[in-house]
């Protein structure tokens, strides 16, 4: 058989369908090489009623033939189905039209259990949403979680970022002999800088490797022999754990891998990008070629890494039909970095908006607890007070929609009540200012939803109107039928609080193991304002369309319930656009 092409059933490229010709017959081999437990492929085969076989490398695969049809225009079409659902139309010239996909939620649930209970209709989705119900915003997302791994990899090549030797070794990337020799020589020089260091053993090795770099463009373009396998490994490092139960620490580690690209520093020694068209991965190659074209335009010539990141976030949203997004970012609360960030935003966002029609604004994010994953990071005891000082200044900017409290929900939000007094003063000056709090993401702090409202309410000056409050996740509180639960419902209604739901991240971060008790429909039935977010879609292999279809199919939302969320979203978009226009 002769290899033809491949396509993917999911956003993360974990479910691969390889196609092969044998004369004029087309055969497929479906594999899931990034999921090592075998649960994913076994469960998929079971619900589709297909046999499993073992590949030459010892992995389980599904194999079969794809039948050929003749359409009304007398052209041949090979139609690929799973469990009776049409997934793709495949044409002899290599064109593939995707008709359905496996959402990240279903894929995750399949990979986490040997006893998957959802049927085919809740596993493979037709990618259609009625126009009047289509959500047009992403109101809960995070700056460095938005872009798909393939776009980040392309950005890394285009901007020729420094890629640490530590990650080369950690991911077991393959280097050429020339690259190995160059890194060894550089590492030897770096090691001399730490001769008097107190670090020993693996800690010293880590420090040296973290400060030894290869030009990422060199890593890929001057090593095309291993580019395909290296891209697969790097791609996997930029998304949350695929098999097993991920926790918040796993998320923080993924962010470290992403920071290399998202906060990338360009290499001093650049190479010519003349081999860009030879990158084996079609999606990385396509994005990189577009970046090279962008660099020749007046609009985007000289873009920084951050500005290109904004451009590609907006382009991604445009393809998904999103016209408005609010991105949470801690950079806006850092004294000097915030000024640089907003300067770059003002330079490029008008051009991005003209191209894409996507308005991006930001929520300045407080960390509810100091970041601990970065070992050398030193957080001053008064970091929240310092953050508040910066917020006082940046809140005047039209691209700043409000603030946020982010991080693992392991403390009662009441402990941060003093910060809310300063935020309330800002909200008094700007009635459009949004106060968003991550609350109710896990079941360890069931008071945080009601305590979040209390923190804001008790911080207001006499006679001050309640500001705009949005609660991210809102998954857990006391039973809505209990006394405490009913009181919380009354507070949500009385204060016009909006709840934001992100189904996929809840499942991928092990905060939701079953869908039957999800509270969204209860909240909607009680008249609570609810919207959808993605929580940094690319971290979880999802996007806004995937999320909306998952809410509809997996939670069984009715047309009326979806329209209720759409109306809430539309009001927020309208108010936010007006607020942007009013600010100087």
Confidence class of residue 573 from pLDDT cuts 50, 70 and 90? Answer: very high
Determine the pLDDT at residue 246.
84
Length of the chain: 584
Give the SS3 label for residue 98: strand
Average pLDDT over residues 426-430: 96
Confidence class of residue 333 from pLDDT cuts 50, 70 and 90? Answer: very high
The domain limits of the chain are 2-126, 133-148+296-582, 150-278
- In this structure, the number of other CB atoms found within 10 A of the CB of residue 316 comes to 22
Give the SS3 label for residue 30: strand
d(C-alpha 501, C-alpha 476), whole Å: 11
Average pLDDT over residues 556-566: 96
Confidence class of residue 376 from pLDDT cuts 50, 70 and 90? Answer: low
Please say if the pLDDT value at position 444 is more than 90. Answer: no
- pLDDT, one tens digit per residue, over 251-287 is 999 999 999 999 999 999 999 999 999 999 999 999 9
Minimum mean pLDDT range among 128-132, 371-375, 391-395, 396-400: 371-375
- pLDDT, one tens digit per residue, over 188-226 is 999 999 999 999 999 999 999 999 999 999 999 999 999
Determine the pLDDT at residue 371.
60
Q: Is 234 exposed, middle or buried, given 0-12, 13-18 or 19+ CB atoms closer than 10 A?
A: buried
What residues form DSSP beta bridges with 498?
A: 470, 529
- pLDDT, one tens digit per residue, over 305-329 is 999 999 999 999 999 999 999 999 9
134-143 burial code (b ≥16 CB/10 A, e <16): ebbbbbbbbb
What residues form DSSP beta bridges with 25?
A: 22
End-to-end CA distance of the chain: 65
The tokens for 201 are 């053993």
d(C-alpha 469, C-alpha 433), whole Å: 9
Q: What is the dihedral of CA 36, 142, 438, 112, to 10 degrees?
A: -10
Reported in sequence order, the residue ranges of 205-292 that DSSP labels E, i.e. its strands, are: 213-215
d(C-alpha 394, C-alpha 299), whole Å: 26
Please say if the pLDDT value at position 245 is more than 60. Answer: yes
Mean of per-residue pLDDT scores for the chain: 94
d(C-alpha 472, C-alpha 136), whole Å: 18
- In this structure, the number of other CB atoms found within 10 A of the CB of residue 350 comes to 11
Give the SS3 label for residue 156: helix
Instruction: State what percent of residues in the chain have pLDDT above 90.
Output: 88
Give the SS3 label for residue 28: strand
- pLDDT, one tens digit per residue, over 29-63 is 999 999 989 999 999 999 999 999 998 888 999 99
Determine the pLDDT at residue 487.
95
Nearest 5°: the CA angle 17, 22, 23 is 135
Determine the pLDDT at residue 193.
94
Confidence class of residue 112 from pLDDT cuts 50, 70 and 90? Answer: confident
37-47 burial code (b ≥16 CB/10 A, e <16): eebbbbbbbeb
In this structure, which topology does domain 133-148+296-582 adopt according to CATH? TIM Barrel (3.20.20)
d(C-alpha 311, C-alpha 490), whole Å: 41
The tokens for 441 are 């993401």
Using alpha carbons, list the distances in angstroms from residue 53 to 22, 59, 114, 115, 352.
19, 8, 18, 20, 49
Instruction: State what percent of residues in the chain have pLDDT above 70.
Output: 98
Please say if the pLDDT value at position 330 is more than 70. Answer: yes
DSSP letters, 384-421, are HHHHHHHHHHHTTSTTEEEEEEES---S-GGGGHHHHH
DSSP summary character for residue 16:
E
Please say if the pLDDT value at position 377 is more than 70. Answer: no
Minimum mean pLDDT range among 70-79, 223-232, 366-375: 366-375
Average pLDDT over residues 450-478: 95
Phi first, then psi: give them for residue 527, nearest 5 degrees: 85, 20
d(C-alpha 129, C-alpha 111), whole Å: 27
- Could you tell me the pTM of the whole model? 0.95
Confidence class of residue 373 from pLDDT cuts 50, 70 and 90? Answer: low
Q: In the chain, helix, strand, coil percent, each to 5?
A: 45, 20, 35
Please say if the pLDDT value at position 380 is more than 80. Answer: no
Using alpha carbons, list the distances in angstroms from residue 136 to 129, 451, 503.
12, 30, 17
Confidence class of residue 545 from pLDDT cuts 50, 70 and 90? Answer: very high
CB 14 within 8 A of CB 107: yes
- In Å, how far from its chain's centre is CA 30? 25
Please say if the pLDDT value at position 374 is more than 60. Answer: no
Rg of the chain on CA atoms, in Å: 25
Phi first, then psi: give them for residue 452, nearest 5 degrees: -65, -45
* DSSP collapsed to 3 states, 332-378: HHCHHHHHHHHHHHHHHHHHHHHHHCCEEEEEEEEECCCCCCCCCCC
- In Å, how far from its chain's centre is CA 498? 22
* DSSP collapsed to 3 states, 273-291: CCCHHHCCCHHHHHHHHHH
- pLDDT, one tens digit per residue, over 517-529 is 899 999 999 999 9
């Amino acid at each position: 058989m002769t290899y033809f092409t491949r396509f993917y059933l999911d956003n993360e490229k974990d479910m691969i369908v390889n196609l092969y010709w044998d004369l004029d017959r087309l055969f497929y081999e479906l594999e899931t090489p990034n999921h090592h437990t075998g649960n994913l492929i076994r469960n998929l085969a079971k619900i589709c009623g297909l046999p499993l076989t073992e590949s030459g490398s010892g992995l389980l695969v599904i194999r079969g033939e794809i039948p050929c049809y003749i359409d009304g225009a007398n052209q041949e079409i090979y139609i690929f189905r799973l469990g009776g659902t049409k997934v793709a139309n495949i044409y002899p010239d290599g064109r593939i039209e995707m008709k359905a996909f496996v959402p990240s939620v279903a894929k995750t649930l399949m990979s986490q259990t040997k006893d998957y209970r959802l049927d085919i209709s809740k596993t493979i989705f037709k990618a259609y949403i009625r126009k009047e119900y289509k959500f047009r915003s992403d109101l809960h997302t995070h700056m460095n979680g938005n872009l798909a791994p393939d776009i980040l990899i392309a950005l890394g090549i285009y901007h020729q970022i420094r890629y640490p030797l530590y990650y080369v070794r950690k991911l077991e990337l393959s280097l050429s002999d020339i690259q190995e020799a160059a890194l060894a020589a550089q590492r030897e020089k770096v090691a001399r800088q730490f001769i008097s260091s107190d670090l020993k053993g693996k800690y010293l090795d880590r420090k040296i490797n973290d400060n030894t770099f290869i030009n990422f463009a060199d890593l890929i373009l001057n090593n095309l022999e291993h580019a395909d396998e290296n891209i697969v490994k790097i791609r996997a490092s930029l998304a949350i754990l695929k098999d097993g139960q991920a926790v918040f620490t796993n998320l923080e580690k993924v962010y470290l891998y992403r920071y290399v690209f998202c906060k990338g520093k360009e290499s001093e020694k650049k190479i010519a990008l003349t081999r860009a068209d030879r990158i084996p991965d079609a999606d990385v190659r396509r994005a990189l070629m577009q970046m090279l074209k962008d660099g020749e335009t007046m609009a985007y010539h000289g873009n920084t890494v951050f500005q290109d990141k904004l451009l590609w976030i907006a382009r991604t949203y445009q393809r998904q039909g999103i016209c408005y997004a609010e991105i949470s970012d801690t950079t806006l609360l850092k004294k000097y970095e915030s000024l640089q960030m907003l300067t770059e935003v003002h330079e490029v966002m008008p051009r991005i908006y003209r191209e894409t029609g996507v308005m991006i604004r930001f929520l300045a994010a407080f960390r509810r607890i100091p970041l601990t994953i970065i070992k050398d990071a030193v957080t001053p005891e008064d970091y929240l007070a310092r953050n508040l000082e910066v917020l006082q200044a940046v809140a005047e900017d039209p691209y700043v929609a409000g603030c946020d409290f982010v991080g693992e929900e392991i403390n009662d939000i009441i402990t941060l009540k003093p910060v809310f007094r300063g935020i309330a003063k800002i909200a008094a000056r700007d009635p459009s200012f949004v106060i968003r709090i991550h609350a109710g993401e896990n079941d360890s702090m069931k008071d945080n939803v009601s305590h979040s409202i209390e923190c804001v309410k008790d911080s207001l000056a006499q006679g001050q109107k309640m500001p705009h409050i949005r609660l991210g996740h809102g998954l857990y509180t006391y039973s809505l039928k209990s006394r405490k639960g009913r009181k919380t419902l009354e507070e949500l209604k009385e204060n016009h609080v909006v709840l934001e739901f992100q189904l996929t991240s809840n499942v991928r971060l092990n905060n939701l193991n079953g869908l039957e008790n999800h509270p969204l429909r209860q909240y909607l039935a009680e008249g609570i304002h609810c919207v959808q977010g993605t929580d940094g879609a690319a971290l979880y292999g999802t996007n806004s369309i995937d999320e909306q279809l998952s809410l509809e199919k997996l939670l069984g939302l009715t047309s009326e319930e979806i329209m209720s969320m759409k109306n809430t979203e539309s009001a927020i978009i309208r108010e936010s656009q007006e607020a942007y226009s009013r600010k100087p």
